[in-house]
Amino acid sequence: MCCSATKPVMPLAAAPVAGFFSGCLGCMAVVESLAKDQPGCMNLMTFSHFLFVAVEGLIFTSKFFTVRRHIPVRAFWKPVLTFFLANVINNQTLNFNIPVPLYIIFRSSDLLGNLVLSRLIQKRTYSWRKYAAVFLITIGIVVCTLATSSLNTKKGEGGGIAVGVILLVIGLTLSSYLPIAQEELFAKFGRHDKEALLMNHLLPLPLFAVFWNDIVKNAASFTLSTPVDVLGISTGIPYLWLNLFVSAFLQWICLRFVYLLTASVESLTKTLFTNLRKFLSLVLSIVYFQNPFTPTHWLGTAFVFLGVLSFIDVWERKVTGKKDRSD
């Protein structure tokens, strides 16, 4: 009975895992391509991602608000504002000479911020291993930041990198607070992931009015980009607009399969998949886009990922699993 109950788990998780990796890795690759082809387009890209996910949710989740909501709109203000600011600020960093590898390393360090904020806000206590892991992550971030700053100073871009790092720290803080805000929301109204996904993308859309002039300016530049050719025949579709649509679609796939993965595997496995995806994104950025990455960067990266693995007690879980099987 035990064996027959556990066999379907892997086939059930295979599709979410495949969609998770293909969607998230593909999205990161297209985003980096857009950042290189059209520097300064991050507001347009972020708005497009929010709009795409909101429209999809409006059609298929709420069915144009005909499906009864479980969470009142006013309750979303904290996670929605946090989610909006985190996305805008994190994406803006790519406009300030921040290499994508450093961007990925910072985004891999949300455990650091979450631990600190959980300790301060929710008064949670952690073992010394957690604090040691956070120390490793912090060292890794500092090493990578100094290495990148050194490279950019030689190019005369030191001022830009300083602003970018400040934005990364702010974005990291907001991204780390987001799970706390969502946890408080779900604890009060129940876990309704699809509804939260829709509202997190729909409600912030009016806030993009602040960046409207920049969005319109970049949209005009996108329209003037070279049309896409298929078998030597021009389609008339500007390639930057096509890339933008592809990035929004892949972002939706990434988010969709994150929720499916959460329902299919335990949280530890999901965390491992998430950090493996970030590591593969890092390798893709270095190899395919030929971003400068020195041995010092690799040292810092090793500290970050070692800290992440230590934080989730991956080795202790493996030892425990072996003991359980031997018993």
Q: Residue 40 sits in which domain range?
A: 2-326
User: Given CA atoms 42, 193, 182, 137 in this order, what sign does their dihedral have?
Assistant: negative
Comparing 179-193, 197-211, 272-286, 305-319, the range with the smallest average pLDDT is 305-319
Euclidean distance between CA atoms 2 and 19, whole angstroms: 28
More confident of the two residues 47 and 92 = 47
**pLDDT above 70 coverage of the chain, percent:** 84
pLDDT value, residue 3: 43
pLDDT at 327 over 80: no
* Number of structural domains found in the chain: 1
pLDDT value, residue 10: 45
Q: What is the mean pLDDT of residues 117-129?
A: 84
pLDDT value, residue 271: 62
DSSP-assigned letter for residue 64: T
pLDDT value, residue 154: 55
Do residues 311 and 275 make contact, with C-beta atoms less than 8 angstroms apart? no
pLDDT at 82 over 80: yes
Identify the bridge partners of residue 234 per DSSP, sorted by sequence position.
229
**pLDDT above 90 coverage of the chain, percent:** 38
Distances (CA, A) of 83 to 126, 140, 177, 202: 26, 25, 9, 11
Q: What is the mean pLDDT of residues 226-249?
A: 93
Do residues 204 and 80 make contact, with C-beta atoms less than 8 angstroms apart? yes
How confident is the model over 58-73, as pLDDT tens digits? 999 999 999 999 999 9
Euclidean distance between CA atoms 37 and 219, whole angstroms: 13
For 174, the 3-state DSSP assignment is: helix
- Tell me the whole-structure pTM to 2 decimals: 0.81
For 126, the 3-state DSSP assignment is: coil
Q: Residue 160 is which amino acid? A: G
For 155, the 3-state DSSP assignment is: coil
pLDDT at 157 over 90: no
Q: What is the mean pLDDT of residues 216-237?
A: 93
How confident is the model over 24-54, as pLDDT tens digits? 999 999 999 998 899 889 999 999 999 999 9
Q: Residue 191 is which amino acid? A: R
Euclidean distance between CA atoms 222 and 37, whole angstroms: 10
Which residues touch 158 (CB under 8 Å, ≥6 apart)?
149, 152
Which residues touch 86 (CB under 8 Å, ≥6 apart)?
171, 174, 175, 178
∠ CA 205-183-254, nearest 5°, is 55
Backbone angles phi, psi at 255, to 5 degrees: -65, -40
- Pairing mode of beta strands 227-230, 233-238: antiparallel
Which residues touch 100 (CB under 8 Å, ≥6 apart)?
28, 32, 35, 94, 285, 289, 291
For 236, the 3-state DSSP assignment is: strand
